[in-house]
Amino acid sequence: MDYHQTNRQIEQYNDGDSCYEPCQRDRTIRALIKLGMELAGCDDEQVVLNKALKTVLSAFEGRWCVFRILDEKTGELTIKASAGIPENIMSMAMKVKPEGTLLGKVLASGVTLGIENIDEENSKIMPYYADKIKSMLVAPLKTGGKTIGTLKIYSFEPQQWSKYDYQFLTDMANQLGMALGNARSHNFLKKQYISVIKGLSAAMETRDFYTQGHSERVAKISSDCADIFGLSREQQEQLYQAATLHDIGKIGVPESIIMKLEPLSADEWEIIKMHPANGEIITEKAELSRQVRAIIRHHHERWDGGGYPDGLAGEEIPHLARIISVADAYDAMTTDRPYRLAKKHDEAIDEILSGKEKQFDPLVVEAFLQIPAEKLAK
């Protein structure tokens, strides 16, 4: 079979003795630096893949390109980004078992492999639906020394892949593998931080029987509002994080105040009113995004400017904080508290309506009213 392995070329490249011609080298280095800068600090795997796809396509001047990531549970390679695959074969090509194919050999060997001419003799290496493909070049995507996927370019004509093609695709795959690894570890750490904070939040709620489950319910109602507004996936995620952690700053409020049956003194109110700003500080240490921290800080602002901690008004208040404000008020009203019983759904709705354009953003109130009562039931 007509494979070309690049062990030797990679070694040469690592030794600084690149196989690139001078003009290719400039173009390649520019493309790789540009990609590196674009990918630096990017923690969204899909964004990383889409950016890399654009670079590969421009470098290979319009050839077709596919990124696949290995699903360790099923052993299948799944397309995560691609260009050039006709729609009618996309569904068949989406997931493939790599065993016995060129992709499988790349996964097993960890080196870039190519086929220059797929003819009858070696066509078994291709899936049945890909009979039009005549040549391909596949590089392994590696992170932390482990192959996690493949980067493939292919054409519908026999193709003599040059050393430059091998080298460039290998370098590109290495850079992309590194960016994917960074995105994954960043997201892993972030998830760890969030689960620790959620644990703290749950621990805090156990101090007060009356507020158990409050944060999760506020997150759920906020998410229903977000659906009505048609918010993006990124905004939905920010809203979920902020809603789950919105009262985390109460961890610094003494239990004697939290559980007090009598009306709070002015000083005690001042302590309570510190919790949004304290929540922002706690979540900053957990490296939550600036947007999420701003939502936590401003969830007690009022539309008319009479809230705290900063007295922001109207659209000065982050939109997602205005959503949490309504969800928070509804859940607080419909839950028993040490000093009063829960209001009924209709009573709480009346209260929300009376706070429209005073405490609450009128558009958020309108969106909130569209949530069916059954969904709001505890």
Q: How far apart are CA 295 and CA 246, in angstroms?
A: 8
Smallest separation, CB 211 to Fe ion (Å)? 10
Residue number with the smallest Cβ distance to Fe ion: 247
Q: Which is nearer to Fe ion, 178 or 277 (CB)?
A: 277
The distance of closest approach from Cβ of residue 266 to Fe ion in the complex, given in angstroms and rounded to an integer, is: 18
Given 80, 105, 142, 250, the catalytic residue: 250
Name the amino acid, one letter, at 264.
L
Closest CA to 326 of 224, 252, 206, 256: 224
Question: In the complex, what is the shortest distance from the CB of residue 74 to Fe ion, in angstroms, rounded to a whole number?
Answer: 43
- What are the angstrom distances between the C-alpha of 73 and each of 77, 106, 177, 186? 11, 19, 20, 22
Shortest reach from residue 247's CB to Fe ion, in Å: 4
Sheet of 77-83, strand order: 95-96, 77-83, 64-70, 146-155, 135-143, 113-115
Q: Phi and psi (nearest 5°) for 313? A: -130, 155
d(CA 93, CA 77): 10
DSSP string computed for 203-217? HHHHH-GGGTTHHHH
**CB of residue 263 to Fe ion, shortest distance in Å:** 18
| Annotation says 54 is catalytic | no
Residue 247 or 280 with smaller CB distance to Fe ion: 247
Q: Residue length, the chain?
A: 378
**H or E segment to which residue 153 belongs:** strand 146-155
Instruction: Please say which residue, 127 or 309, places its beta carbon nearer to Fe ion.
Output: 309
Q: Which residues bind Fe ion (CB under 5 A)?
A: 247
Question: So which residues are the catalytic ones?
Answer: 250
